[in-house]
Amino acid sequence: MNVRCLFTIALLVYCCPGAISCPERCKCYFGQDSTEVICHNISMSVFPAQSLPSNTTRLTIQYTDITTITGKDLQSIPLLRELHLSNNKLQNLSSDMLMGLSQLHTIDLTGNQLRDLPSRVFYHAPLDSLALKNNLLSRASADWLPGDSNLTWIDLSGNHFQKVPAGLLQNLGSLVTLDLSLNKLEELPAAVLDPLVLMERLALQNNKLRVIDPMAFNTTSSLSYLFLQDNRLEKLPPSLFRRVKELRYLDLSGNQLRSLPDGALDPSVVFVDLALNPWNCDAKAAYLWRWQKRYAEVHQEDTKAACTLPAALKGRPLASLSGEELGLKE
């Protein structure tokens, strides 16, 4: 430990003794301008509000039996910047939980038992990142967040959403990354993504998507990475990606696509995964076949599209076929 660090600790002991306390069985790391507390996989059922260092800037409590957190619990650590509460047994949060935390930018609530959240629960801190992954949420209300939310990253994956939470998205005009994978979404309607004009990354894999409205991506012109794999899509609207001029990565693998309509894929896409779809390799595959040839020449990549029908071509990569095998007049 260097002299400066020793001096800092001595000063803290003299000026504010509570700044160097540490909860039992937890680990505390004291730096010059930061204090980290980690309570991992220990027997704890009550939030350790009284024993936390008052200058805590990063708090991690995970794999414990804590079921609830109130505003009083966090009032003793007003300098908090990051709060990581993954894999506990949280069932309830209070609406004043973040009151007074003017520097808090990151919250991770992954792997808890949250079914619903109270109004204004995320109002009182300038959050940039929010993880609600692997909870029991089936709805997300607009009043969880202020209208001028600063969130750029939100993870809602692994919950029970059957519909895209349109209300919540209204307040996410600064959002760059949205993860709704591993839910139960069946459709992506028009206008639901319209507020997300800055979004660059959208994860919708491992849902039950059957329908995507032709206008679903009309305002998401900054979208660069789109994950649609492992859904139940049987067809795509021909103009679906027409306004997504920045699309660089598109994963459509593991769906029920048999063909693609003319114009479905923008030439600017750098990587496309079309594996594990039941492609029908006949004349209706002409557009995709020709697009793949151009794509392979430009990007030196394989889309992994392979034939399911007709039986004589089963398993053959679509790109390897001749026009004659597809029944085309070249």
Q: Where are the domains of the chain?
A: 1-121
Residue 48 near residue 30 (C-beta atoms within 8 A): no
Mean pLDDT along residues 34-44: 95
Q: Residue 270's pLDDT band (boundaries 50, 70, 90)? A: confident
Nearest-5° Cα angle at 126, 123 to 130: 80
Structure tokens belonging to residue 268: 């600017």
Place of tokens 């160097």: 20
pLDDT one-digit tens code per residue, 171-216: 999 999 999 999 999 999 999 999 999 999 999 999 999 999 999 9
Please tell me the CATH superfamily of domain 1-121, with its number: Ribonuclease Inhibitor (3.80.10.10)
The phi-psi region of residue 255 (left if phi > 0; otherwise alpha if psi is between -120 and 50; otherwise beta) is: beta
pLDDT mean across residues, the chain:
91
Instruction: Write out the DSSP string of 203-215.
Output: E--SS---EE-TT
Q: What is the pLDDT of residue 301?
A: 80
Check whether 145 has a pLDDT greater than 60.
yes
Which DSSP string do the residues of 8-53 spell out, in sequence order? HHHHHHHH-GGGG---TT-EEEE-SS-EEEEEES----S--GGGS-
User: What's the rounded Cα separation, in Å, for the pair 274 and 304?
Assistant: 6
With a cut of 50, say whether residue 9 has pLDDT above it: no
Pairing of strands 35-40, 27-30: antiparallel
Share of the chain above pLDDT 70, in %: 94
Paired residues of 251 in beta bridges: 227, 273
| pLDDT score of 295 | 83
**Segment 44-74, tens digit of pLDDT:** 999 999 999 999 999 999 999 999 998 899 9
- The yes-or-no verdict on residue 222 having pLDDT over 80 is yes
pLDDT at 229: 98
Q: What is the mean pLDDT of residues 2-24?
A: 56
Q: What pLDDT does residue 16 have?
A: 46
